[in-house]
Amino acid sequence: MAKNDYEQRHLETLDRDLGRFSALERATSYASRPMMGLGVSLAFIILAGLIAFYLFGNTGNTVVVVIAAGLGAYMALNIGANDVANNMGPAVGANALTMGGAIAIAAIFESAGALLAGGDVVSTIAKGIVAPETMHTAAVFIWAMLAALFSAALWVNLATWIGAPVSTTHSVVGGVMGAGIAAAGFAAVNWPTMYKIAASWVISPVLGGAVAALFLWFIKSRIVYQDNKIAAARRWVPFLVGIMGGAFAVYLSLKGLKKIIKIDFSSALMIGLGMGLLIWLVMVPVIRKQSQGLENRNKSLKKLFGIPLVISAALLSFAHGANDVANAVGPLAAIVQASASGAFMDAVSIPLWVMAIGALGISFGLFLFGPKLIRMVGGQITKLNPMRAYCVALSAAITVIVASWLGLPVSSTHIAVGGVFGVGFFREWDAQRRMKSARIPIPEVSAQPKEERRRRKLVRRSHFLTIIAAWIITVPAAAMLSAGIFLAINAFMGGAG
């Protein structure tokens, strides 16, 4: 008996030890994830520098180009960690995509957009923000671009750490402006252009939110609040998917395929109209078949929006890769060109190896650090389902089209996040309206305690305030960082000289 008790105590002790070991193993694995991400990121930055060294090993500016390549890789990693979440967050939050599926699709389509349709010639980055001739020499221009690139990457890195999706375009703009002011004074800045960019802080989220809210109102009034929801869905879902297909056809024609073919606005609208009609006709029998046997309830409607939502996320990623990769590689390409030829006031050609650094960096950044912002955009601002996420994705395409037509500057980040806010605030307004008019509880609202309803409502105010604050200070913060970095470089190079 004593022997059995001893064996039993021994087994219990062994189980506790194994349990502690298992917990320690899980904790070690969890703690090592950030270290793994940092390690892979550092290896990628070093690889980018080695590629630059191999290609520019016989020039006098090798060290500068190697440093610039490393900073370009660092910026691309941060774009992947922060900016790409805006395309994938709604689809993940609506459970139309798993996190792994979203990362895989985004990585493929972001890279394809950058390499296949990314602009091979861009205007000199400094040209629209500061006058290049005010920098006098190629060396000063290169130092300014280095400062702009480094400051923008640092700011986006900080924003990702605090959980705020910010515009990488505005970060680069702020960096160029700050370096330009430090190099040549306030007179060097193109202030009318800066006023337009500042206007986009308001225009982008408000327009994106209004478009998303308008479509959510349409879906609720024409489908969700109808007695026969399935019959209403058969009538309107093909129409809505057709609108999405047409909008994305116009969006890609204007923004995503500039390198492959030049298309004017009227031609893009005709392409979108034709594509929208075709998709509408194709979707009529598809939706009829999908809706067979579905129960007459809201949950059934979500299945009909799943595939269009996945496709829209992929197309948004392609267009984002085609356009925003220049945020990472534009200043790098300008540095490479100025270092190789001394020319810094001409158009900048982006070499394939530079574009590849941007595309791969975005993919690595998304894979290693993107889930944090994807979860925040997709589920922590307001609760999303496929119908709400569809409205957010559609607002991104339509807002860019409307802005292009009106000549308004907009930010894709602000549009997407503004769309999420628009959907959330519309839900609040609609829920309160229904409760007042019908005097019946709304399940998703009344299930929460009164204090929780008062504090959180349907949009988390803390995230709203954090993101708005980050948007407002992005340009000045990046500018101050850049000015400080430029002055430090200038002092060091002057001292070294």
* pLDDT tens for each residue of 172-210: 889 999 999 998 888 888 888 888 878 887 888 999 999
pLDDT at site 348: 67
Task: Report, as an integer, the average pLDDT of 124-136.
Answer: 70
Tokens standing for residue 376: 């925040």
DSSP state string for 187-223: GGB-HHHHHHHHHHHHHHHHHHHHHHHHHHHHHIIII
Task: Report, as an integer, the average pLDDT of 225-251.
Answer: 91
pLDDT at site 85: 79
Work out the mean pLDDT of the chain and round it to a whole number: 81
What's the length of the chain? 497
- Asked whether residue 454 carries a pLDDT value surpassing 70, the answer given is no
- Asked whether residue 24 carries a pLDDT value surpassing 80, the answer given is no
Q: How confident is the model at residue 486 (pLDDT cuts 50, 70, 90)?
A: very high
- Asked whether residue 296 carries a pLDDT value surpassing 90, the answer given is no
- Asked whether residue 16 carries a pLDDT value surpassing 80, the answer given is no
From residue 204, how far is each of 97, 114, 273 by CA, in Å?
26, 23, 24
Q: How confident is the model at residue 456 (pLDDT cuts 50, 70, 90)?
A: very low
| Lowest mean per-residue pLDDT among 252-256, 303-307, 316-320 | 252-256
Between 86 and 25, residue with greater pLDDT: 86
- Asked whether residue 404 carries a pLDDT value surpassing 80, the answer given is no
Task: Report, as an integer, the average pLDDT of 85-108.
Answer: 86
Alpha-helical regions (H) of 56-137: 62-82, 85-93, 99-117
The DSSP secondary-structure symbol of 187 reads G
- Asked whether residue 327 carries a pLDDT value surpassing 70, the answer given is no
> Which of 21-30, 131-140, 222-231, 301-310 is the most confident on average?
222-231
CB atoms within 10 A of CB 429: 13
pLDDT at site 330: 80
- Asked if 51 contacts 45 with a C-beta cutoff of 8 angstroms, the reply is no
351 sits in the region (left: phi over 0; alpha: psi -120 to 50; else beta) called beta
Task: Report, as an integer, the average pLDDT of 39-45.
Answer: 90
- Asked whether residue 350 carries a pLDDT value surpassing 80, the answer given is no
Work out the percent of the chain whose per-residue pLDDT is above 70: 81
Tokens 């803390």, residue? 462
457 sits in the region (left: phi over 0; alpha: psi -120 to 50; else beta) called left
Task: Report, as an integer, the average pLDDT of 372-381.
Answer: 84
pLDDT at site 467: 87
- Asked whether residue 451 carries a pLDDT value surpassing 80, the answer given is no
Task: Please name the amino acid found at residue 279.
Answer: I
Q: How confident is the model at residue 23 (pLDDT cuts 50, 70, 90)?
A: very low
pLDDT at site 169: 82
| Lowest mean per-residue pLDDT among 121-130, 200-209, 406-415, 419-428 | 121-130
The DSSP secondary-structure symbol of 226 reads S
pTM of the predicted structure, to 2 decimals: 0.82
pLDDT at site 426: 92
Q: Point out which residues pair with 440 in neighbouring strands.
A: none
Task: Report, as an integer, the average pLDDT of 75-80.
Answer: 91
The three-state secondary structure class of 31 is: helix
pLDDT tens for each residue of 149-177: 999 999 999 999 888 888 888 898 899 99
Residue 443's closest CA among 456, 454, 458? 458
Interacting residues of 427 by C-beta distance below 8 A, sequence separation 6+: 216, 382, 388, 458, 459
Tokens standing for residue 361: 């960096």
pLDDT at site 439: 59
From residue 170, how far is each of 142, 285, 474 by CA, in Å?
20, 44, 7
384 sits in the region (left: phi over 0; alpha: psi -120 to 50; else beta) called beta
> Which of 75-89, 271-285, 324-338, 383-397 is the most confident on average?
271-285
